[in-house]
């Protein structure tokens, strides 16, 4: 009976995975690929061949392309998750298709941002990055647009 108990415990433990699971989204190795892109030298074809399609595009005076890399891992066996990589690159492309401006933000840049607690939530003007991140959060929470469809059907 003891042998059966030890064998069953061994089988249960051996089936548990000790490898940590990583969730990687966006452009892999964005920090290395961004060094290949040069301001006032690279064009849209160069950018697309190095990085692929951007995570999002926007058109103002110039085109703005945003690339994202995010990697989350389980920090231990109880499912606690930890953000390892959070890179964002914002490219501004002029009307000729040449890279005019490049901004790269990593996880350390996120930690340096100070938030003003006295600021009101009802500000009328929101910047592009805030609107983009809100849209991204909405897509993550409802990737298929199911909630939006239910709201539209309920209001009819």
CA dihedral 18, 19, 25, 27 (to 10 degrees): 170
57: which 2 tokens? Answer: 């595009």
Q: What is the DSSP string of 95-130?
A: TTSBEEEEEEE-HHHHHTPPP-TTS-TT-S---HHH
Residue pLDDT, tens place only, 68-103: 999 888 766 566 778 888 899 999 999 899 999 999
Residue with tokens 């000790």: 18
Across 11-25, average pLDDT: 66
Any idea where the domains of the chain sit in the sequence? 19-116
b/e 60-79 (16+ beta carbons within 10 angstroms → b): eebbbbbbbbbbbeeeeeee
What pLDDT band is residue 107 in, cutting at 50, 70 and 90? Answer: confident
* pLDDT for residue 121 is more than 90: no
Residue scoring higher pLDDT (141 or 16): 141
Give the residue among 63, 64, 66, 65 at the shortest CA–CA distance from 95. 63
Give the CB-side neighbour count of residue 138, counting CA atoms within 13 A: 10
What span, in angstroms and rounded, lies between the C-alpha atoms of 62 and 102? 12
What span, in angstroms and rounded, lies between the C-alpha atoms of 75 and 73? 6
pTM of the model: 0.59
Q: What is the pLDDT of residue 40?
A: 94
């Amino acid at each position: 009976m003891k042998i059966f108990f030890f064998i069953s415990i061994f089988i249960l433990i051996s089936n548990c995975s000790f490898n940590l699971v990583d969730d990687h989204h966006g452009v892999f190795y964005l920090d290395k690929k961004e060094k290949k892109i040069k301001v006032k030298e690279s064009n849209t074809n160069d950018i697309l061949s190095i990085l692929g399609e951007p995570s999002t595009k926007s058109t103002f005076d110039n085109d703005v392309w945003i690339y994202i890399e995010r990697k989350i891992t389980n920090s231990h066996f109880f499912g606690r998750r930890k953000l390892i990589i959070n890179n964002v690159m914002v490219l501004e492309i002029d009307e000729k298709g040449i890279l005019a401006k490049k901004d790269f933000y990593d996880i350390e840049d996120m930690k340096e941002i100070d938030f003003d607690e006295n600021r009101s939530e009802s500000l009328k003007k929101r910047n592009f990055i805030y609107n983009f991140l809100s849209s991204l959060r909405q897509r993550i929470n409802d990737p298929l647009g199911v909630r939006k469809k239910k709201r539209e059907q309920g209001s009819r």
